[in-house]
Amino acid sequence: MKRRDEVVVGIFVTIAVIIGIAGTLYLARRGFTKSYPMYARFDWGQNLKVGQPVNLAGVQVGFVHSVDLDPAGYLDVKMYIDRDRRIPEGSTVTVQSEGLFGDKSIAIKPCRRALPPASATEPPANAPKPKEDLTLPPEPVCRPGAFLPAGDTIPAGRPAPTLDQIMTRVDSMSAALGDVTYAVRLEFVQNGGIAELRQTIANTNHLVTQLSGVAKVQSLALSATLASLKRTLDAIDSASVDSTMRNMSAASKNLSALTRELDTATVHVNAILDKLNNGQGTAGLMLNDPGVYNNLRQLLARLDSLTADIKANPKKYINVKVF
């Protein structure tokens, strides 16, 4: 019996100690998954607490292990990331709000996905370049397969605007809207703007009425003009128009016959010209044989010398004898 007590108590103590240690580890280390540490640094006043979730692209991958206050104005945050999750190189961390309790979580924003090959996405040369906000740092681009090593510090990204900042902006917008409303009221109510507007509308109505009268008169005149034109057209003799058209048709036929004859004549002239160019026939030989040209030159030179000789010695050639 006594021995049995010892066994039962031993089992009980063992189970209780295991539950105590395992439960504490489970609560403190967010489950029994193995993890590795990563670090981040934020400005003061982020309301971060131990145990809050760390999300990568919206999926919880770890938890906040410790938050230390750096007197230089920073919070040094140690996170534990599940061992089977890896943080892409170029990722940034920000503190995000969750729910209405003011709960926070750390969001790891992965870097932009690497662009596909340049040929597929290269814009045309004359395409306008997209506007870039020069005040913001450029978003880092992933290197395929590159991950941050365990124990590294993830750089902090641009924090999302807080409710206070949004409310401040809304306040300024509200003040500006109030100024505009005041100016409108001043112009339209106190300075008689509405009365002037009504007068303008009345004048416009009057003008429209006048224009309507003018349009009516013009419409009548136009109707008269059309009637007159119709009468003139009716007066034209259709028989004479027909004969004129027939004459014009005959003239057109004659013109086409003349054109055909001219074509035939052109063919003939072209044939003659071809013959001339090719040196066929008398005229062709005369035009194309250089010997004829030379002979003619010689003949002309002789004629010149003969003419000169005749001028010089006329009596040599002309011997007029009277009786």
Q: Which residues of this chain interact with other proteins, rule CB under 8 A? A: 2, 5-6, 8-9, 12-13, 15-17, 19-20, 23-24, 27-28, 30-31, 49-53, 60, 63, 98-101, 103
Relative to beta strand 74-82, strand 92-98 is unpaired
DSSP 190: I
Please report how close the Cβ of residue 102 comes to other proteins at its closest, in angstroms: 10
Smaller CB distance to other proteins: residue 160 or 226?
A: 160
Rounded CA separation 25/17 (Å)? 12
Nearer to other proteins, 67 or 272 (CB): 67
State in angstroms the smallest separation of the CB of 110 from other proteins.
22
Nearer Cβ to other proteins, position 1 or 214?
1
| C-beta of 60 vs 205, nearer to other proteins | 60
Least Å distance between CB 86 and other proteins? 22
Q: Provide the sign of the torsion angle of the four alpha carbons 262, 264, 268, 274, taken in this order.
A: positive
- Which residues share a beta bridge with 41? 76
Contact, 149 vs 88, CB < 8 A?
A: no
In angstroms, the CA 138 to CA 217 distance is 70
**Burial of 87 per CB tally in 10 Å (0-12, 13-18, 19+):** buried
User: What is residue 82's three-state secondary structure?
Assistant: strand
The minimum distance between CB 195 and other proteins, in angstroms, equals 51
Please identify, using beta-carbon distances, which residue of 24 and 244 lies nearer to other proteins: 24
Residue 56, burial from CB neighbour count under 10 angstroms (0-12, 13-18, 19+): buried
Q: Which residue number, 29 or 275, has a Cβ lying nearer to other proteins? A: 29
* Cβ-contact 18, 69 below 8 angstroms: no
At closest approach, how far in Å is the CB of 42 from other proteins? 17
Please answer whether residues 137 and 75 qualify as being in contact, where contact means their C-beta atoms are separated by less than 8 angstroms.
no
3-state secondary structure labels for all residues of 191-206: CCHHHHHHHHHHHHHH
Smallest gap from residue 26 Cβ to other proteins (A)? 8
Q: Which is nearer to other proteins, 49 or 297 (CB)?
A: 49
- Closest distance to other proteins from the beta carbon of 75 (Å): 14
Do the beta carbons of residue 64 and residue 50 sit within 8 Å? Answer: yes
Residue with Cβ nearer other proteins (8 or 285): 8
How far apart (Å, rounded) are the C-alpha atoms in residues 317 and 311? 10
The distance of closest approach from Cβ of residue 152 to other proteins in the complex, given in angstroms and rounded to an integer, is 23
